[in-house]
Structure 1
Amino acid sequence: MTSWDEGSFRERLQKTLDEFLDEMAERLAPLGPDAALLLEEGRRSVSGGKRFRAAFCWWGYRAVEPEVADEDALLRACAALELLHASALVHDDYMDASDTRRGRPATHRAFATAHREASWRGDPEQYGASAAILLGDLLLTWSDELLRRCGLPSDRVVAALTAFDHTRSEVITGQFLDVSVQARGRADVDAAMTVLRYKSAKYSIERPLHIGGLLAGASLEQLGELSAYGLPLGEAFQLRDDLLGVYGDPAATGKPAGDDLVEGKRTVLVALALDSAPAEDARRLDAALGTPLTEADVQDLRAIIDASGAHAQLEQVIDDLVTLALDRLDRSSLHQMAQQVLRQLAAAATDRAT
């Protein structure tokens, strides 16, 4: 069994991100202390996390080419995906009006608090919103720059940038689909699955695999094999995230209990529950979404979802999707060593508490 030192990979990836941000700090130094504050928040936004996107990029490369000639260059390419992810989270937290991220204030809340404590003019909340939008944009810009300048052969980087362009288009448009679903206050299972696929599933696993594979010179057939494994696994990954948004332990997730219910998320879990629950229970669940909820309220809504069968059904769907992904991986021509680690990553991505 091939072992993979996940902890060492995360440390090396964080070092790569820190070095890039050090370079950006020198670039922005002439802009003064306000720019330094924005950069420090950027550092916080790329600290910690599970680093799944970077890991799938790394092993997408090694599934095609098991030997890495320039590990530092590949790490920079993988780190670009973490900058993209940080950008999405900063913007997502603002759009969702989230208070926390990984146990600390979300970016827009942190800057609003700083404005308030300094007794500056204007609206603290607007200042926080502006800072979050601009930081997210800056991280998005840097993600492109880091991949473009990673140091791998230019023809491979150009090919990977094309997949990266698709990734950004999909995740941003998928986010707008989600915003629109929440605004309408309704979503059937098909609509919720479309949001899930384009907002998260593809950019979390399938596209990072593609980017890594293209950096290694993957053929169209190999890209198809990476998709056959990566897309169902990405869907399972996000369905697990949806369950954690309702059932997750705040001590582990860094988010309040039932956070997705408080935010009114029209996830696949919620859509299934609304379809299957008795009419009165469905009305109670629908009316409660997006409203302030006590812990007792959250427990009540969880009971409705459980009784509808949606929770158990989603667990089964996750299991089925993981089985499908692993079966397709077994049937692929991808390198055996990488296949073993990709199996480990599949378990880590879908059997988790955070």
Structure 2
Amino acid sequence: MANDILEGTRRFGVPHQPIPADGLVNAVEGTLAEFLAGQIAALDAVDPALGMFARTTRDLVLAGGKRLRPTFAYWGWRGMLGSREPVDSVLPALAALELMHTFALVHDDVMDGSATRRGRPTAHRLFATQHEIAGRSGDSEQFGSTSAILVGDLCLVWADQLLAQTAVTTATLFGVRACYDRMRVEAVAGQYLDVLGETQPDEWSLERALVVARHKTASYTVQRPLQFGLALAGPMRRMAPAINEAYDSYGIAVGEAFQLRDDLLGVYGDPKVTGKPASDDLRTRKPTALLMLAHRLATPAQRAELAQTPAGAVIPADGSGGPLSTAMKLPGSARDVAVREAATDEALSMEARIARQAEVIAETGAVSQVEAMIRQRVDQAVSAIQNAPIHHDARAALIDLAMTATHRPA
């Protein structure tokens, strides 16, 4: 697909034009679309099935999203260079962050078993459905998960390829790459801690949940993209150390606040707005900062309710004692009816328990305290950037982003 926004860039030999801030997302989208069109054509030439695989991957990359990472990187770059420098030379680097983000989201959805993302089926569900419709042999769920893992891997490779197209000096690209590599390592480290926490929720704490937030979210959403943008501005200049320090403080504070908002949305968000099922974090017992804080503030009775799994009372290991297992013992059609009724009752009971846990979390005061933690971090971020030696338009944009990224409905 042709990229109209890139008309007038170095590829066409026409004079450069700076892209206004409100056109940045369109410019990133256009860069991605043009790059992905070439990748699809190359894989299509090998085998039509690969072309289909690549098109599904493209659709996942371009399926909306806030494009926060390239936005923060853009303002990190503008903070050093000002508004007159044309952006076309660094668009591949900015767009590469979205390919890395897709890698992280797709793998995260497989790990969490999530059915939807941004209101659409997740990658593993898309491929499982394709498997079912085609009538292929084998397990469709397994095929879906395997294919989604490959989608994430492919996006990470594509991110490297697109980053390499950035029109900067070799020395600058080395600096950018060092920041990019650190970002990726921290994202993987944070994700592992997140997965580990779900396996031992009773051993987790508020402090450890914030460590996860800092590495899984703050690092690759705000902190490192800002420093990535600063690296794109070229080798160290006189004010670069002071700017880097300001970006570091701002990025950690806004990134943690962003994750804390996600914690609240994971329990109280509207699925029609978030694009994710309601209360997913409670279903998986994810030890978020919100839940850890609720446990800390809870009375013994409240703590007991929060400790209960969404499935309620534990059924013996042999399967006896539960309504569903009792229904399974009935003969013929009576069994089918009883199983459907038992499954429906169990689902309704689970929803009621999850809703009650959400109420208990609010009753502990954890929600209001998390809101206060968000406000505190936004204040810290604004203070860090207020006196930083960056261009005034970047400062204004970053102050605005500190608010919009952390006070959002999705």
Range into which the TM-score falls when normalised by the shorter chain: over 0.9
Q: Is the 8 A contact 2:310 2:353 kept in 1?
A: no
Aligned letter for 1:233? V
Q: Matches of 1:280 and 1:178 in 2, distance apart?
A: 27
Show the counterpart of 1:10: 25
1:258-273 alignment runs, 5 A limit:
258-273=279-294
Identical aligned pairs, as a percentage?
A: 39
Greater alpha carbon shift after TM alignment, 257-266 vs 98-107: 257-266
Q: Matches of 1:45 and 1:11 in 2, distance apart?
A: 17
Query: Partner of 2:287: helix, strand, or coil?
Result: coil
Greater alpha carbon shift after TM alignment, 165-174 vs 29-38: 29-38
Q: Residue 6 of structure 1: CA displacement?
A: 5.6
Q: Is the 8 A contact 1:264 1:290 kept in 2?
A: no
Query: Partner of 1:328: helix, strand, or coil?
Result: helix
Q: Is the 8 A contact 1:201 1:235 kept in 2?
A: yes
Structure 1 runs not aligned, ≥5 long: none
Query: Partner of 1:350: helix, strand, or coil?
Result: coil
Q: Matches of 2:375 and 2:304 in 1, distance apart?
A: 29
Q: Matches of 2:198 and 2:392 in 1, distance apart?
A: 43
Deviations 1:227-270 (A, max 9, x none): 12111111111111111111101110011111211222110001
- Selected match of 2:215 from 198, 219, 226: 198
1:112-261 alignment runs, 5 A limit:
112-186=128-202, 187-217=204-234, 218=236, 219-261=240-282
| Residue 322 of structure 2 is aligned to residue 305 of structure 1 | no
| Residue 378 of structure 2 is aligned to residue 322 of structure 1 | yes
Q: Matches of 2:95 and 2:84 in 1, distance apart?
A: 16
Aligned letter for 1:13? V
Deviations 1:39-79 (A, max 9, x none): 12211221210011010000000011114544222221111
Q: Matches of 1:264 and 1:89 in 2, distance apart?
A: 19
Q: Matches of 2:398 and 2:20 in 1, distance apart?
A: 13
TM-score if structure 2 supplies the norm length? Answer: 0.82
Q: Matches of 1:66 and 1:282 in 2, distance apart?
A: 52
Q: Matches of 1:272 and 1:75 in 2, distance apart?
A: 41
Q: Residue 298 of structure 1: CA displacement?
A: 3.2
Q: Residue 28 of structure 1: CA displacement?
A: 1.3
Q: Is the 8 A contact 2:128 2:144 kept in 1?
A: yes
| Residue 129 of structure 2 is aligned to residue 108 of structure 1 | no
Q: Which one scores higher on RCO, CA 8 angstroms, separation ≥ 6?
A: 1
Query: Partner of 2:255: helix, strand, or coil?
Result: helix
Q: Matches of 1:324 and 1:308 in 2, distance apart?
A: 26
Aligned letter for 2:271? P
Aligned letter for 2:291? V
Q: 1:75 to 1:259 in 2, by over 3 A?
A: same
TM-score if structure 1 supplies the norm length? Answer: 0.95
Q: 1:288 to 1:5 in 2, by over 3 A?
A: farther
Q: Residue 286 of structure 1: CA displacement?
A: 2.2
Q: Residue 31 of structure 1: CA displacement?
A: 2.3
Structure 2 runs not aligned, ≥5 long: 1-18, 313-346
Q: Is the 8 A contact 1:257 1:298 kept in 2?
A: no
Q: Residue 102 of structure 1: CA displacement?
A: 0.7
| Residue 396 of structure 2 is aligned to residue 340 of structure 1 | yes
RMSD: 1.7
